[in-house]
Amino acid sequence: MKMTLAPSILAADFKVLGEQMKLCAESGAGYLHFDVMDGMFVPNISFGIPVLESVKGADGMIMDVHLMIEDPIRYVDKFCEAGADIVNVHYEACADLQAVLDRIHGCGKKAGITVKPNTPVEVLLPYLDQAELFLIMSVEPGLGGQAFIPSSLDKIRRLKGLLEERGLKADLEVDGGIYHNNVRAVLDAGANVIVSGSSVFHGDIAENVFGFMEIFKEYE
């Protein structure tokens, strides 16, 4: 199976964002992970629509938008127009998740459903064939640089099992606290899209991305 790296620009240096994104793409990252925070669903505020408009499509990367916002249906159309290829919404943030997924698909984009560390993956059962991607948070959303929560591995395994039992091929993405030294455990558990902020943007970006690519080869 193809493994994909999704660098989270939350950890980038915004003075030189374009250069850093280019390094990510040239070194093999396929997705660009775009963390949107509203100060409500999570305590922090990050960036939003104008920034996505400006970076979309850069270097051929797929725009993987992670909406950490309350009631995301309000902004689905705007993020789709601004260049999102995948729109991830939080299970915990949606009053009517099905309506949100339908809205994303209505815009012609891929839908992702995200769960926080304390939300069991079994809540996803009614939606397993309704999304192209599932995103398991391995840290509490809202902040980069936190430590990976070990119980996430069991959630990845359980969700992978539920998808496989049904013959579903959705992407399984994991976000938070992933480094070269623990990514194998995440891949072994069944993930195929790896989000990484600190471990890509701190230090030598090309070398960091390349390190992930080398590990991914063991799985392809």
Which active-site residues does the annotation give?
A: 35, 175
Q: What six digits make up the tokens of 144? A: 């980069």
Q: Binding to ligand DX5 by residue 48, rule CB under 6 A? A: no
Distance (Å, rounded) from C-alpha 63 to C-alpha 65?
6
Helix residue ranges per DSSP H, the chain? 17-26, 49-55, 76-82, 97-106, 152-165, 183-189, 198-201, 205-217
190 binds ligand DX5 (CB under 6 A): no
196 binds, among ligand DX5, Zn ion, none (CB under 5 to 8 A by kind): ligand DX5
Binding ligand DX5 (rule: CB under 6 A), the pick from 176, 192, 194, 205 is: 176
Asked whether position 175 contacts Zn ion by CB under 5 A, the answer is yes
Which two tokens mark 32?
A: 């660009």
- Name which of ligand DX5, Zn ion, none residue 139 binds, using a CB cut-off of 5 to 8 Å depending on partner kind: ligand DX5
Q: Which of 83, 112, 141, 211 binds ligand DX5 (CB under 6 A)?
A: 141
| Rounded CA Rg of the chain | 16
- Which residues on neighbouring strands pair with residue 133, listed in sequence order? 112, 171
How many CB atoms are closer than 10 A to CB 86?
25
Q: Which of 82, 196, 205, 211 binds ligand DX5 (CB under 6 A)?
A: 196
Residue 33 or 160: the one with the smaller Cβ distance to ligand DX5 is: 33
List contacts with Zn ion (CB under 5 A): 35, 66, 175
